[in-house]
Structure 1
Amino acid sequence: MVTPVDFDLDMARKVLDAQPFSRFLGARITAFGDGAATLELDIRDELRQQNGFVHGGVLSYAADNALTFAAGAALGPAVLTAGFSIQYVRPARGTLLRARASVVHAGRRQAVVRCDLLTVDGDGDETLCAVAQGTVLATEG
């Protein structure tokens, strides 16, 4: 069994790569550890809705995975999202979507996690577009 101590950035990237949908979107983990994770994906036309903004489903995907990976950094890799809520604060536009999540509280079997969803423009400036919070459960242990 892999413990949180053994679950590092390389292993997190392998877990993400094992998800066909994440590969399809081109998602990548850029930071992982100490109860936090950052997931990024390039914004391309196929991920936009009719007004040119990143589709809310893409933002929800990013939040869900970032929340779960952050919890995995605290609980170990055998985790599943129990539920989460997301609040869209402004339309998402830019060249990159960044989901930055961190554990607010972790027990033995569950973690409460917060995620800020940011878009990044061509100059590297971040803009908050949504906030999510969820509960993630350990499935082993």
Structure 2
Amino acid sequence: MTDTALLSMARDVLRAQPFSRLVGADVSAFGDGGATLELPIREDLRQQNGYVHGGVLSYAADNAITFAAGTVLGPAVLTAGYSIDYVRPAVGVTLRARAEVLHAGRRQAVVRCELLAVDEEGTETLCALAQGTVRAAGQGSPA
């Protein structure tokens, strides 16, 4: 499958998730142990101080981690767990979650994700770091 076809498939999977459609998320890169998820920073995704809500950053980390793992484990994967550390408030026009597989076995992958706020000029500012474990779904995996 070509890189373009893989990216198109990943976008279709993301669009099949109602919550991802709600927040306006898109996959901008997918393949070779990595995935990047982006979403517009809208007013309705902010908390009371004007920063992107931590739950939105957490959503982006979870999905980017799982998509990155899917590039090495296959499409049937589930997040087993992840942690997130918030570095600074997210402000800008786009939230970018860039995930990369650090280690993968046959049924499990460990993935790191940087969450970046992108301003009008395209400058990225690190907002949070996440790390997660993703498992292949199927026989012997939790549902």
Superposition TM-score tier, normalisation by shorter sequence: over 0.9
1:17 matched to which residue of 2?
15
* 1-structure distance, mates of 2:8, 2:119: 27
* 2-structure distance, mates of 1:83, 1:8: 25
RMSD: 1.5
Q: Which runs of 4+ in 1 moved over 4 A?
A: none
* 2-structure distance, mates of 1:14, 1:75: 18
- Residues 1:46 and 2:44 are matched in the alignment: yes
2:133 matched to which residue of 1?
135
* 1-structure distance, mates of 2:102, 2:138: 21
TM-score (structure 1 length as normaliser) = 0.94
TM-score (structure 2 length as normaliser) = 0.93
Shift of 1:140: 3.3
Q: Give the residue type in structure 1 aligned to 2:133.
A: T
- Alignment gaps of 5+ in structure 2: none
* 2-structure distance, mates of 1:25, 1:32: 19
Q: Deviations over 1:11-60 (max 9, x none)?
A: 11111010000011100000000010000000000000000000000000
* 2-structure distance, mates of 1:112, 1:44: 30
Q: Give the residue type in structure 2 aligned to 1:21.
A: F
Q: Residues 28-107 of structure 1: matches in 2 within 5 Å?
A: 28-107=26-105
* 1-structure distance, mates of 2:47, 2:112: 25
- Alignment gaps of 5+ in structure 1: none
